[in-house]
Structure 1
Amino acid sequence: MHGGFSLAEIDHLLRQVDADLAAWMAGFGGSAMGRDANGHQLQAYMATLLAMRPDIGRTLMRSIFRSDHRELLSHLSANTTIVQSADDVAVPLSVFDYLVNRTHCIGQHVLPVSGHLPHVTHPQLVAPIVHNLLVSLGGHDAGALPAEEPA
């Protein structure tokens, strides 16, 4: 297994990418954003995906789905905070557990949201985690975080 995918599933996924990258990205984009994404977030993400040159998109997909750097985790000495959506189509909770157990994890957060990009769809949940982490690491506490701007 690589993340939440078997090698056969990765090969199948990459054949779909090769056959029709734009169609694959259109399908994946909505799933990656999750059920909680608003129309503006989804539209902006899809525009970014679809603006990518096909050769770069295919190379990127191969790099993402064929890379496995688990052996490097034992060399990571920095404290980490791991943030995960409860329902992530790309990264199952087993990967979250794996990372928590193999890093110097000082913070672990499973957010009650869907999607692979909670920092985009739910910045009001992610920003305080990042803020508190930076403060705990000796950063300056500039006070309350600004309220989220309406979309």
Structure 2
Amino acid sequence: MHTVKEKNNVHIRGKADAAQTIIFGHGFGSDQTAFEPLVKAFEADYKIVLFDNVGGGKADINAFSPSRYSSIQGYVTDLGDLLRELQLSDIIYVGHSVNGMIGLLSAIKYPSYFNKLVLLGSSPRYLNEPESGYIGGFNMEALEQLYHAMSTNYYAWASGFAQLVVQNHDRPELAASFAKSLSSIRADIALSVAKAIFEMDHRSDLGKSSIPAMIVQTTEDPAVPKVVGAYMHQHILNSQLATVDTEGHFPHVSAPEEVISIIKSFI
């Protein structure tokens, strides 16, 4: 049996005896290296824990099971295992995209471990729901097209998708870096995880967490419209909402200094 540290390619950095730990959780198609500027900003004062989700980065690919990860609850279980194995407490959890929701669901399930949540470009539901008026940003037809593109020519899809969600077209190296980490994922695993993320609905869970949360959005996120950030702020108790002056789905990559400043003032 692998330890959680091996399974999730866990790296521990920063101040080993710090009173508080910051855990960084990456979004779909990304990996722990995306947080490097943030890690550098906090490692002098905090213990830092970095990990890769199973199915991404350098996590153990043999640990991926389509049934376990058919919903993001499999990742919530993984995070709980990680918290127990490393015996962590008083955590500041910084989760990007889907890992924001993984952090929130984990804080509901294991509240004693958490002190604060930072949700970067996170969403409880990506699909629009016309009957209730909820705007998530995607309709089912768009998702079917996305899945089809992933299935037919994954590498071409990865390159196009990276440019779409990263934006910042004056800095093409940002999209190129995301396309590279996206392309390193096995196509069948990426498709399976994408379906679990894009079709999830955790709106009813938002009100169950009482851990203070900072919701961070960009001015223009193609995956998570601004109305989603407002919706989360309205439904998560004890939450604040901040907008970073950058576009795209990766505020910590395109505007790390602003994100660092928001986190510092929050914690």
Counterpart for residue 62 of structure 1: 195
Contact preservation (8 Å) 2:166, 2:175 = yes
Contact preservation (8 Å) 2:163, 2:169 = no
Counterpart for residue 146 of structure 1: none
Structure 1, gaps ≥5 residues long: 135-151
Structure-2 separation of matches of 1:43 and 1:13: 19
1:40 Cα deviation (Å)? 3.5
Which one of 209, 219, 222 corresponds to residue 76 of structure 1? 209
Contact preservation (8 Å) 2:215, 2:233 = yes
The one-letter code sitting in structure 2 at the alignment partner of 1:45 is: F
Alignment of 1:11-22 (within 5 A): 11-22=144-155
Structure-2 separation of matches of 1:105 and 1:37: 37
Which one of 170, 181, 184 corresponds to residue 51 of structure 1? 184
Aligned residues: 134
Counterpart for residue 46 of structure 2: none
1:102 Cα deviation (Å)? 0.4
Counterpart for residue 139 of structure 2: 6
Q: For the aligned residues, what is the CA RMSD?
A: 1.7
Name the % identity. 27
1:88 aligns with 2:221: yes
Q: For CA contacts below 8 A with separation 6 or more, give which structure has more relative contact order.
A: 1
1:86 Cα deviation (Å)? 0.9
Structure 2, gaps ≥5 residues long: 1-127, 130-135
1:128 aligns with 2:252: no
Contact preservation (8 Å) 1:119, 1:126 = yes
Secondary structure (helix, strand or coil) at the match of 1:104 reads: coil
Which aligned segments of 4 or more residues in structure 1 are displaced greater than 4 angstroms? none
Counterpart for residue 35 of structure 1: 168
Counterpart for residue 147 of structure 1: none
Structure-2 separation of matches of 1:13 and 1:39: 22
1:72 Cα deviation (Å)? 0.9
1:118 aligns with 2:251: yes
Contact preservation (8 Å) 2:230, 2:241 = no
Counterpart for residue 236 of structure 2: 103
Counterpart for residue 159 of structure 2: 26
1:133 Cα deviation (Å)? 1.0
TM-score normalized by structure 2? 0.47
Pick the structure with more helix per residue: 1
* Cα separation, partners in 2 of 1:13 and 1:101, compared to 1, 3 Å: same
The one-letter code sitting in structure 2 at the alignment partner of 1:89 is: P
1:84 Cα deviation (Å)? 0.4
Q: Deviations over 1:8-49 (max 9, x none)?
A: 322232222222222221111012111266344333222111
Contact preservation (8 Å) 1:36, 1:115 = no
1:105 Cα deviation (Å)? 4.4
1:94 Cα deviation (Å)? 1.1
